[in-house]
Amino acid sequence: MYDFLTSIELYNFLKGPMVWIAFLVFICGSIYRTISLIMLAKKDKVVYPYLSLKYTLRSLAHWLIPFGSRNMRLHPWMTFFAFTFHIGLLVTPIFLYPHIMLWYKAWGVRWWSLPENVADIMTLIVVLCCVFFIFRRMFASEVRFVTYASDYLIIAIAAAPFVTGFLSFHQLIFPYRLMLILHIIIGELMLMVIPFTRLSHMLFFWLTRAHTGSEFGVFRHSKDY
Ligand code: HEM
Ligand code: HEM
Looking at 1.20.950, 1.10.3470, 1.25.40, 2.40.50, the CATH number of the domain 2-23+75-219 comes to 1.20.950
Domain ranges of the chain: 2-23+75-219
Cα atoms in the Cβ-side hemisphere of radius 13 Å centred on 128: 12
Residue nearest to atom 25 of ligand 1 (CA): 187
What is the per-residue pLDDT for 55?
86
What single-letter DSSP state applies at residue 94?
H
* 76/91 Cα distance (integer angstroms): 22
- 69 pocket-lining for ligand 1 (C-beta < 6 Å): no
Helices (H), ranges, 95-200? 97-107, 116-139, 141-144, 149-169, 176-193
Q: Please check whether residue 204 is in contact with residue 38, taking contact to mean a CB–CB distance below 8 angstroms.
A: no
What is the per-residue pLDDT for 201?
96
How many Å lie between the centroid of ligand 2 and the Cα of residue 79?
Answer: 11
Residue nearest to atom 11 of ligand 2 (CA): 82
* 132/137 Cα distance (integer angstroms): 9
Give the binding-site residues of ligand 2, using a 6 Å CB cut-off. 78, 82, 86, 89-90, 133, 137, 151, 154-155, 158, 190, 194, 199, 201-202, 205
* 120/162 Cα distance (integer angstroms): 10
What is the per-residue pLDDT for 22?
98
Residue nearest to atom 34 of ligand 1 (CA): 165
- From first to last of its 225 residues, the chain has per-residue pLDDT tens of 888 888 999 999 999 999 999 999 999 999 999 999 999 988 887 778 788 888 889 989 888 999 988 989 999 999 999 999 999 999 999 999 999 999 999 899 999 999 999 999 999 999 999 999 999 999 999 999 999 999 999 999 999 999 999 999 999 888 899 999 999 999 999 999 999 999 999 999 998 888 888 888 777 877 777
How many Å lie between the centroid of ligand 2 and the Cα of residue 220?
Answer: 27
pTM: 0.93
